[in-house]
Structure 1
Amino acid sequence: MSIPILWREPFEFSQSPLFISKYFSSLGKCEKIILKEYGINEEFSKTIFDYPRFLKALDLSSLYFQAEKWIELVLVNSNLRGDNRLKHNIIIDITNLLLKLLIENGATLHSLELRFSGCREFKPEIFYVLGQNEQFLSQLQHLSLSAIKFDFDIDSATTWLKAVAKYTTKISTLNIEVFYLDYNKHKYRALINVIKSQKQLRLFGITGVGFLTKFHSMISALESQKNSLQEVRIDTCTLNEEFEVLKNCKNLETLRIRCCDQECCDQELSKLSKILDNKIGNKISTLEVICCQIYAQPIALILRLELNGDENQEYTLLEALKSFCPNIIYLDIMNIKFSTKLVELISDLQKLQFLSLQCYTDGMPDEELKKRVMQAIYRYFAQSLQCTFKKLLIHKIYNEKISKALIEFCIRNKTLNYVGVYKYLDLDDNIRKEVEAYVELVTFKRILVYC
């Protein structure tokens, strides 16, 4: 029972490459001759199990590196070890031989990583064998593509993608990583065909290098997955007009965006607010925005934001968040000006359960800042009668005015269970007793939630 589990993805988890010898036990005479030509005279004993049939996950780059390690072991006393070019040719031949063996002996992949940083050359016979053994890719569910930069990488990747588009329609997760700015029509066309050929794509992710700005209809191809797509991840890419296709995705629940270009940050937030109108905004339950110093990592629309003090950036972000106001459950904002716009945003959060704010006011004396912040919180307590948040973090209950505002909110709302006070030990005993008649006061760390 354990053997099929242990041999699902041995190229990723095996500490020693000696497991490759078990695969080679099923080599034919012709293949063994190839090994002997390189001085590999190892005897491969017959195995009880047909190990290639258990393979479910494969990373082509790991396949290459495990083959390299295996060759270094079996040729430990060989004179060939000092010849790097010859060694590379041996590795390529062994990699192709091993891959051909896996395909022909019944392996059926669920996950495939097309990484080409090390595995550079695939012989034409590999793709011929794929055509003769369609089961190898027919059940593929997770596909990752990365490190496509050089011409030989592009050619290999394009050929593999053509095979994927031809032999499987069951991919649910497609991740395109380390995608370069260069334009190659064959590469983009192959990716578009993969996207369009699938019947149930649920997660699509793309990571650019050098801030990817053009997608040549690749993102637009997601229109074909509008009924199944549930999550989109965008990293170091410009949100151009192609991303408006997301408006048509009926079941999109999760959107994660990372923008790493300081100059483009404001523009990207503005584009986000246009792309995600109220129609789609109300459906999304998880929004993640990592934009320069803006950091948000929500789970079930849990928002954590750390800003860099740019008021224009703050305004743009708050405008973009309006679409998601009805769904926010957890809100944690650091280093933001306590503006009217922020107070309005908080006042609209009818599902809010956790609130944590760390605000600033440029050039304003501390006492004036405290006064303004407390006035804003008092206004929120007094007006947000439908608010349902259960936990509130506060730095200190300074005076009777603050305590009365808190008590008034508890009387009207009746949903607040805990108030975490950072300066818990500094609480006035009379204020403590008065407030605790309506809500439990606890130390800040006791109810602090990290998401």
Structure 2
Amino acid sequence: MACKKLFSGVLPEITNYIIQFLRDHLRSLYSCVLVNRHLCWITIPILWEDPFYIMRNSKFLTTYLLFLNDEDKARLKGLIFPSSFKKPLFNYPSFIKTLNQLRMQEHVTEFIENLIDTNPLTTDFAISLFHNEPAKLLVLLSTICELLFKLFISNDISLNSLYIKICHSQHALNVMIFNEICKKPKFLSDIKYFTLDFDRSKVIPHLPIPSFEDSPSAITSNKHFTIYFIAYLMSALKYCSNTLTSIKFILCNFNDLPSLNGLNYLVHLESLQFKQCKGITVQVFRPLLDISTPLKIKTLTLDGLSMEITFIQSLFQKIGSFLENLEIKLVIERKIIYESIINHCNKVQFLHISEIEHVDIVQLFKLITHVRKHLKYLSLQIQNHRQPCLIESDYDDQQLRVSSMILTNLGQILPDTLKYLELNLEIDPINLKIFLDNCKHIVGLNSLLVINKSQNDIIFDVLKEFVREKKVTNFAYNVSALFSTHDYYGRQYLDNEIHPFVKPYSELIKRISNNNDYFEI
């Protein structure tokens, strides 16, 4: 009786809670659709929130195209809409929450390729596209994407995530998208994740990108901005200064820019990430450094080859007292960087450092000792590329030397309350035994991840004993070098012995992201 009431809609709050709990389990949701009308009505919208997520599944596009008006259908010359196809009961275009332009184009491409097999009436048309007039194929692709985009906007959808790719080959489509956004600022008003990916910076002068100054409401609610080549959009930041908390610079070249004036509006920024950028200087980021109010950035990623050391020092001085999550992947002036962290940062809980060399060891240990009071997550990785001046054997010796220095001296300075430890080293079993013996004071470790770069992979028993003794909840082990058949079976034996603890490395690894919890798992 209780189940009957539940699934018939008598208890809507509980029913909705159950469906929301199952939202990531597609098979269960599909089953709910078949139970009764009530469950169908509350499940269908969830299934259509991100239809482009599932690859190699373009059949649903036919459903979308049925919602086009006669004028738009006429633009799809050669595509036949059978009279037996009636408009569905649900308004499927209104349900979409995540729209990725790249995925949409991939699905449309597959949809066109399947025309011959799925609709014989379009055979002649499709053959002409693929064999005689390939230029028309691109036109049809762009046309369908344009019509879908307009269809979504006309349904007053409220997106959570939007990804747009700007590339030269899709010039007309890009212009249409931006024009439609300007006409309907509500389209962007509730977006949390907005990504503009510029394929080539030379495209920008030819693309009439609208200024968001004309429709500030389109951007005032954005909480996260992930923008490739963001330099072209700095003027828009003033309209989201009260809500924008996370910004990520990826593959940006700031060499030709005097300064990024829009940054001075980001007074509520909590996460700042630089990945593979060039030309990062004090001059360019002076507006951010000159913000008069305290800049309470908790999460920082520094990953790149071209960063002015003065900027890094100034940034740590500005935000160091608030910093909790820090990821560093730099090959410049690391000693100075470590000193700056020690001088200004004392609340770091998450620390990831890569590209470690033997000259860094002393300062690295000083840094870990300095932050150990709050440190909960630690990830260390030795240098991951061989310098041109080193032959392979010398490089391996250097890797082993650095790893040995870390293993023999790290354990005793780790905090008792460490929860997560990730080591990407060239591991010698003797040094590993020393390290694990020095870690016996740690009482809260629940995740241990080890990548062994050594070709002599014989550390299974050592790890097995430690995992058992410390009752580590989550354990992952990987070998990045080639290993023998004997070593391979040794790994299988290790997994069988401690099977309850073993998980794939990819499931346990933690990195800073722009998510609310700042970790990407």
**TM-score with structure 1 setting the length:** 0.66
Pair 276,164 (structure 1): closer, same or farther in 2 beyond 3 Å: farther
Q: Which residue of structure 1 aligns with residue 112 of structure 2?
A: 71
* SS state at 2:172 partner: coil
Match of 1:171 in 2: 222
Is residue 312 of structure 2 the alignment partner of residue 289 of structure 1?
Answer: no
Q: Aligned AA for 2:272?
A: V
- Does structure 1 residue 193 correspond to structure 2 residue 235? yes
Matches within 5 A, 1:355-434: 389-390=416-417, 395=432, 417=443
Equivalent of 2:250, from 180, 191, 207? 207
- Aligned residue among 299, 307, 321 for 2:341: 321
Structure 1 residues 270 and 322, CA gap change in structure 2 (3 angstroms): farther
Q: Is the 8 A contact 2:182 2:215 kept in 1?
A: no
CA–CA separation in structure 1 for the residues paired with 2:434 and 2:183: 74
Q: CA deviation at 1:156?
A: 4.2
Q: Distance in 1 between matches of 2:51 and 2:221?
A: 23
Match of 1:253 in 2: 298
The structure with the larger Rg is 1
Q: How far 1:49 moved relative to its partner?
A: 0.7
Contact 1:137–1:167 (8 Å) recurs in 2: yes
**C-alpha RMSD over aligned residues:** 4.6
CA drift of 1:15 comes to: 2.7
SS at match of 1:101: helix
CA contact (8 A) 1:269 1:320 kept: no
8 Å contact 1:244–1:275 — kept in the other structure? no
Q: Tell me the secondary structure at the aligned position of residue 171 of structure 2.
A: coil
User: Which 5+ residue runs of structure 2 have no aligned equivalent?
Assistant: 1-41, 116-121, 383-396, 398-403, 424-430, 449-457, 476-508, 511-521
- Any idea what SS the aligned residue of 2:295 has? coil
Aligned to 2:157: 107
Shift of 1:204: 0.6
Check if 1:274 corresponds to 2:314: yes
Correspondence for 1:234 among 274, 281, 301: 274
Q: Is the 8 A contact 1:52 1:106 kept in 2?
A: no
Q: 3-state DSSP class of the match of 2:141?
A: helix
> What pairs with 1:429-448 in structure 2 (closer than 5 Å)?
443=466
2:210 to 147, 150, 159: 159
What amino acid does structure 2 have at the position aligned with 1:252? I
Cα deviation 1:2-49 (Å, max 9, x = unaligned):
2111211222325322212212222222222222xx211223421111
Change (3 A) 1:119 1:13: farther
Indicate conservation of the 8 Å contact 1:148/1:154, yes or no.
Answer: no
Q: Displacement of 1:288 after TM fit?
A: 0.7
Change (3 A) 1:96 1:152: farther
d(CA) in 1 for partners of 2:311 and 2:468? Answer: 37
| Separation of aligned partners in 2, 1:163 and 1:65 | 32
**Most deviating of 234-243 and 127-136:** 127-136
User: Quick check: 1:234–1:256 contact (8 Å CA) kept in 2?
Assistant: yes
For 1:99 and 1:106, how far apart are their aligned partners in 2?
Answer: 11
In structure 2, relative to structure 1, the CA distance for the partners of 1:91 and 1:389 (3 Å cut) is: same
Matched residue, 2:187: 136
Q: Residues 182-204 of structure 1: CA distance to partner in whole angstroms, max 9, x if unpaired?
A: xxxxx72xx12321111300111
| CA distance in 2: counterparts of 1:23 and 1:240, whole angstroms | 48
Which letter does structure 1 place at the counterpart of 2:275? D
The answer to whether the aligner puts 1:61 opposite 2:102 as a matched pair is: yes
Q: What one-letter code is carried by the residue in structure 1 that aligns with 2:72?
A: E
> 1:144 deviation in Å?
0.5
Q: Please give the secondary structure, in 2, of the residue aligned with 1:276.
A: helix
Cα distance in structure 1, aligned partners of 2:202 and 2:381: 50
**Percent of paired sites with the same residue:** 21
Distance 1:341 1:29, change over 3 A: closer
SS in 2 for 1:112: strand
1:29 and 2:77 equivalent?
no
1:193 aligned counterpart, secondary structure? helix
| CA distance in 1: counterparts of 2:461 and 2:90, whole angstroms | 67
Q: Structure 1, residues 86-113: CA drift from partner, whole Å, max 9, x if none?
A: 2222222222222222211222222111
- Alpha carbons of 1:418 and 1:154: their partners in 2 closer, same or farther (altered >3 Å)? same
Superposition deviation, residue 135 in structure 1: 3.0
Tell me which residue corresponds to 1:308: none
User: 1 CA distance for matches of 2:214 and 2:207?
Assistant: 11
Counterpart contact for 2:188–2:218, Cα < 8 Å: yes
Task: Call closer, same or farther: CA 1:425–1:347 in 2, change over 3 Å.
Answer: same
